[in-house]
Amino acid sequence: MDLSAGTVEIVVCAILISFSVFGNLLLIYCTRRCIGEHLRISFILIFSLAFDHIVNNLVVNVLKIVYASGVGFDSASCKVLMFTTIFTTSLAIWFTLYIALLYCFKVCRVVHPPVEATRMNHRKCHLVLVFTLWIAGFAVCCPVLPYTGMIGNLTGGNETYQQHGVLNYSECKTEYRNEQLEFLYGKLFLVAIDLLPLIILLLVGFRIAYLLWEHKMATYGGIWIGDDTTETEVLRACKLVLALIFLITSFWISHFVLMRCLKHFKYYYFAPSVKTVLLSGYSALSPYLLMLINYKIKVKVESFCGKGEKKPVPPAAVSPSVEVSPYA
């Protein structure tokens, strides 16, 4: 069966939308049911990241399906496509970095417990910071809007480009008024707001990996002291955060190399589909990892899937007499 490039991209976008919307809506629903008297910062970040993923798929990928179906684009649709792509990609990186920093701090307190327990509640500060990230993402991406639009057919005489270039949205481009603005904002600033957080994210990932290794090698003076449920949850969450870091960095670097370094990649038949997967693959896979970060969310997801809800057993309810030690 001979499938056109447009058909392939429509199928890819439909699959990504299905996985992302289902996973993120389920994540939001189960997280909402876990909220009690106190709203955890991890829940706030999960909400923000899931909502960002839903916007990415319901706006960007739906517009791509419309365009690949042969429906013409106007300048307004082009502006929405470009702005939403940059906006949601940057926010996904920023919120993932925020989650990684949060669990890096938590695992650091597990491996190196503080001398005095801190009782300070920074929830309001986190709420302000999350809101600030949304505003900052909108502000730094807004300059793209006045320079984006439909600029006509750029295909020239290249038949391969004419056949597949429309799926790369060649007529929907961002053209700046001068080369200096294009370099400073279009090539330097927009790359920096993604690349710098990614570099920090990788450093945080190495720090988390080192702390996990340090916890694994700790002997506590050769005395086995058992496992704490809270510590176990933090350690499991940190391993999932490492998986999130690997996903988002690999997708972003692959997209950057293909789009910026391989100039002729856009002429290939499969280029539009590959570009779509690299831009939206993280939003389709990450919610299924985020469901496992918090134990309460994990229980709610299992309950939703029909496995029955299990009530967590508090550590105080476990009798010391039934604790099993490897030295027994």
Over the chain, what is the mean pLDDT? 81
CB atoms within 10 A of CB 60: 26
Q: Which residue has the higher pLDDT, 295 or 131?
A: 131
Supply the pLDDT for residue 162: 39
Is 237's pLDDT higher than 50?
yes
Residue 160: band (very low, low, confident or very high) from pLDDT cuts 50, 70, 90: very low
Cα(97)–Cα(95) distance, rounded to whole angstroms?
5
pLDDT tens digits for 2-54? 467 678 888 999 999 999 999 999 999 988 888 765 678 888 899 999 999 99
Cβ-defined contacts of 250-254 (< 8 Å, 24+): 251/278, 251/279, 251/281, 251/282, 252/89, 252/93, 252/194, 252/198, 252/278, 253/198, 254/278
Mean pLDDT confidence for 90-117:
89
Is 196's pLDDT higher than 70?
yes
Is 314's pLDDT higher than 80?
no
Q: Which residue has the higher pLDDT, 92 or 186?
A: 92
Q: Which residue has the higher pLDDT, 50 or 302?
A: 50
If one looks up domain 5-115+130-151+178-305 in CATH, what number appears? 1.20.1070.10
Mean pLDDT confidence for 109-132:
80
Residue 170: band (very low, low, confident or very high) from pLDDT cuts 50, 70, 90: low
Residue 67: band (very low, low, confident or very high) from pLDDT cuts 50, 70, 90: confident
Residue 117: band (very low, low, confident or very high) from pLDDT cuts 50, 70, 90: low
Helix, strand, coil content of the chain in percent (nearest 5): 75, 0, 25
Supply the pLDDT for residue 175: 82
Supply the pLDDT for residue 151: 67
Q: What is the residue extent of each domain of the chain?
A: 5-115+130-151+178-305
Contact 298, 33 (CB under 8 A): no
